[in-house]
Structure 1
Amino acid sequence: MTRILIVEDEKTIAELERDYLEIEGFTVEIASTGLMGLDMVNKNEYNLIILDLMLPGMNGFDLCKKIRENHNIPLLMVSSKKEDIDKIRGLGLGADDYITKPFSPSELVARVKAHLAIYKRLVGQPKEQELLIRNLKIIPKSRRVYLDDGEVSLTTTEYDLLYYLATNPDQVFTKDQLLDKIWGMDYFGDGATVTVHIGKLREKIDKHVTSPFIETVWGVGYRFQI
């Protein structure tokens, strides 16, 4: 049983999203405020969260940040705000996708299915040997990352992006190649998603090193330096 939580204060929109998802066989619950959503996430197990940005009590940005402190499941942020800065902020806080209103229910269902498939594929990958690259240690068995013996907290997408780059050192990957490999061919997003996740990774693993692990190859993409 796949359980989805919708955090949305507009009842009509929440019920419409729920109806379309239930037609596809998902079990759906609704929270009408940010605080209610946080309480439900802490008390129950969900496979995916659909999170509206404008919520009473606690906005979507703050709720996303709180959820990411303990949960790495797929999180889709929806909002009527179309500015790039809002999208970048949402992805930077740990959202896996950012959908602008209005959108068709069928598009939402397609994105939900795509992210669930990506998460299932990545979590179910066979476990490989530990990687030790300079002062960075990656442990696939537990999906943990350490820098100078201190653990680095990464979202599921951040970890998979780091692991893919680290296991293919000195190779240059375009944003489209990384979107295809990490997010999948059915993903609706664009290169900005990769840019934001690369930026978050750099904040977490490159801030205490003299030579950065992730290098930008201008006009082409990114590569991991050993």
Structure 2
Amino acid sequence: MNYDCLIVDDETLLAETTCEYFNMFEVRSAYVTSSEECLQFLEKNETSLILLDINLGQDSGFELCKKLRQTTEIPILFISARSSDDDILIALNIGGDDYIQKPYTLSVLLAKVKAVLKRYGSRVSVEEEDSLSFGEVEIDEQLCRIRVKGIDVKLKSLEYKLLCYLANNRNRVVTKNELFLQVWEDTFTSDGTLNVHIRHLREKIEDNPNDPRYIKTVWGKGYMLEDRLS
């Protein structure tokens, strides 16, 4: 069967309540309470998004995320009562797309999930075939890939969308709020999530990510994709 959202949380009552709430608002959802149940569920079903708790009894949501990332690129949103910066950075660096802290309000969580489903259901449009080429970087909109110096580099969907938006707005400062609204399509995204995605993009397109040629940080404002030849 196909689902919009799979909730993986060992707090059974919370997982069940969240699942029922989502289904009331036409977000087709299911829940499991362990890593093993999650992997078994995905063998027989498909889902467009996973809400994943870090603490799963004897299991770790971090380890489950690593396993899932070996076979799928669907969005994974971590949900956890843990609030340390280290936990958030680990979650994002191992393949999580966002981090939501417990306790959460069901209506806010639903809005977040709907925004993510909408975001991953569409691609950034490209008006001109060559409009998203800059420097030694060429963007292939059909494959959601880029070529850097003629070498193919695969991007995750959100990395691709972020790069396209910056490229379409090259040589001007794009604020963080603008990126949240235009790329993430919501106002719930954290600065940490954006910073991690920017860093991953730099690692894939820059010769020296610590001294970027293209994606510049404009302190206190946002980012700018600089194309000196435009």
Could you tell me the TM-score, scaled by structure 2's length? 0.84
> Which residue of the partner structure matches residue 203 of structure 1?
203
Match runs of 1:44-193 below 5 Å = 44-56=45-57, 58-120=59-121, 122-123=122-123, 125=125, 129=129, 131-184=132-185, 186-193=186-193
**SS of residue in 1 equivalent to 2:172:** coil
Q: CA deviation at 1:119?
A: 2.1
> Which residue of the partner structure matches residue 7 of structure 1?
8
Q: Which moved more, 1:190-199 or 1:171-180?
A: 190-199
Distance between the aligned counterparts of 1:144 and 1:96, measured in 2? 18
Say if 1:68 and 1:155, in contact at 8 Å, map to a contact too: no
The alignment's C-alpha RMSD in Å is 2.5
> Which residue of the partner structure matches residue 214 of structure 1?
215
Are the structure 2 counterparts of residues 165 and 128 from structure 1 closer, same or farther at C-alpha, using a change threshold of 3 Å? same
Structure 2: gaps of 5 or more residues: none
Say if 1:8 and 1:14, in contact at 8 Å, map to a contact too: yes
**SS of residue in 2 equivalent to 1:51:** strand
User: Matched residues, percent identical?
Assistant: 37
- Post-superposition CA distance 1:129-148 (Å, at most 9, x none): 25433332210122122323
Q: CA deviation at 1:211?
A: 5.3
Say if 2:3 and 2:30, in contact at 8 Å, map to a contact too: no
Say if 2:144 and 2:154, in contact at 8 Å, map to a contact too: no
Say if 1:114 and 1:187, in contact at 8 Å, map to a contact too: no
Distance between the aligned counterparts of 1:72 and 1:64, measured in 2? 10
The size of the alignment, in residue pairs, is 224
Distance between the aligned counterparts of 1:223 and 1:106, measured in 2? 34
Say if 2:7 and 2:52, in contact at 8 Å, map to a contact too: yes
Say if 2:175 and 2:222, in contact at 8 Å, map to a contact too: yes
Could you tell me the TM-score, scaled by structure 1's length? 0.85
